[in-house]
Structure 1
C-alpha cells in the first residue's frame, strides 16, 4: 500500500459561546474529518483540505482558541490501515443511514400503491424526496476518500428506489388516464 499522508488538526476553543465550537465541529465533519479524540482530527492531505483547514485555524483564533495544524503519516502499514478504517467507518455510518431512509421511502411508496393512492401531488412529493437522496449520496461520495464497504450497497439501494418510483409513476399516469372522460371523437 502506498504511504498515505494526512493533515492533523488539534484545537481547543472556549466552551462559551457554544455556537462557535459547534460551527467549527460542523465544518470539520462537513469536510469528512475523523476525530481521533476531542479536538484532534484528521483529513487526507490535499491542497483543498489544507486551504480549508488554514481558514478554520484563523476562525479558531478569532474564537480565542488555539489550533495546531500538522502533516502526518502512519508509522507503519497497520497504523495506516487503522486510520483508513476510521474514515470508512464514518462513511459506512452515513451510507447505513442513507440506506435506511431509502428503505423507508420504498415502504411509503409500497403503502401508497397498496391503497391505490395514485396522484400527481404524491408523485411530485416522492420525486422531490428522491432528488434529495441523489444529492445526499453525492455528498457522502465526496467524503468517501477510501472506498467505504457500504458504498456499493447504497448505490444499489438508490437504483432500487428509483426503479420503484418509476413503477409508481407508471401507476399514477395509468390511473389518471382511467379517470379521464372518453374522447367523443374516438368513438365508433
Structure 2
C-alpha cells in the first residue's frame, strides 16, 4: 500500500433553517482550511489540534439539531492524498498571493497607512499559517513582501 497519512474527517448534516448555525459552521470550517471531500464531508490532516477543532464543530452541529461523526481515515492511495493536498495548497497560495499584492501596494502609501497595513498583514499571515498544512512557495514570497513593507519604516513612499 502507498504511504498515506491519517486524516480527521467530519461527516455532517445540519438543518437549512435557521441558517445562522449552518453559516457559522461553514465559516469555522473555512477558517480551519478544510478540504471539502464531498457534500457534508470535510477533512484535515489528523493531529491533536485538528481533531479537537473538528470535535468542537461537531458539538456545535449537534447543538444546532444536526448530525455528524468524526472519523480517522486514510485515502486509499497516495495519489488521492496528493490531489487533496494540492487543492488545499492552491487555496493557501491564493491567500498568500493576496497578502503579497497588498504588501507591495502598501509600500507606496503614507507611513501611517503602512503601519496599519503591516499590522493587519502580519495577523493575516498568522491566520493563514494556522490552516497551511501543505506550504506553497507563495508563503515565502508573502513573508518576504510583508517584511519588505516593515523595512520601509518611515521612508518616503515611492
Q: How many residues are treated as equivalent by the alignment?
A: 156
Give 2:139's aligned residue. 151
Q: Distance in 2 between matches of 1:141 and 1:12?
A: 28
Higher RCO structure, 1 or 2 (CA under 8 Å, sep 6+):
2
Higher helix residue share: 1
Q: Structure 1 stretches of 5 or more lacking a match?
A: 113-122, 173-188
Give 1:5's aligned residue. 6
RMSD (Å) for aligned C-alpha atoms: 1.9
Residue 57 (structure 2) pairs with residue 56 (structure 1): yes
Q: Distance in 2 between matches of 1:93 and 1:34?
A: 15
Alpha-carbon contact 1:34-1:90 (below 8 Å) kept:
no
Shift of 1:38: 3.2
Residue 68 (structure 2) pairs with residue 67 (structure 1): yes
In the TM superposition, what are the counterparts of 1:134-173 in structure 2 within 5 Å? 134-164=122-152, 166=153, 169-171=154-156
Give 1:105's aligned residue. 106
Q: Distance in 2 between matches of 1:125 and 1:97?
A: 18
In the TM superposition, what are the counterparts of 1:74-89 in structure 2 within 5 Å? 74-89=75-90
Shift of 1:3: 2.5
Return the TM-score normalized by structure 1. Answer: 0.75
Residue 80 (structure 2) pairs with residue 92 (structure 1): no
Q: Distance in 2 between matches of 1:149 and 1:170?
A: 29
Q: Distance in 2 between matches of 1:104 and 1:40?
A: 38
In the TM superposition, what are the counterparts of 1:122-133 in structure 2 within 5 Å? 123-133=111-121
Shift of 1:2: 4.9
Give 2:24's aligned residue. 23
Shift of 1:171: 4.2
Compared with structure 1, are the counterparts of its residues 154 and 59 closer, same or farther at alpha carbon in structure 2 (3 Å cutoff)?
same
Alpha-carbon contact 2:3-2:78 (below 8 Å) kept:
no
Structure 1 residue runs of 4 or more that deviate by more than 3 Å after TM superposition: none
Return the TM-score normalized by structure 2. Answer: 0.88
Shift of 1:148: 1.7
Compared with structure 1, are the counterparts of its residues 92 and 171 closer, same or farther at alpha carbon in structure 2 (3 Å cutoff)?
closer
Say which one has the larger Rg.
Answer: 1
